[in-house]
Amino acid sequence: MPLIDSRPLAEQVNRIHEANARCDALVEASRGRHKTDSNAEHTERMRCIDEAQKAYHLELVRLSVLVQSAIEHAEGVR
Q: What is the pLDDT of residues 43-75, one digit of tens each?
A: 999 999 999 999 999 999 999 998 898 888 888
pTM for this structure?
Answer: 0.76
Rounded-to-integer distance, Cα 21 and Cα 29, Å: 12
DSSP string covering 4-63, please? S-HHHHHHHHHHHHHHHHHHHHHHHHHTTGGGT--HHHHHHHHHHHHHHHHHHHHHHHHH
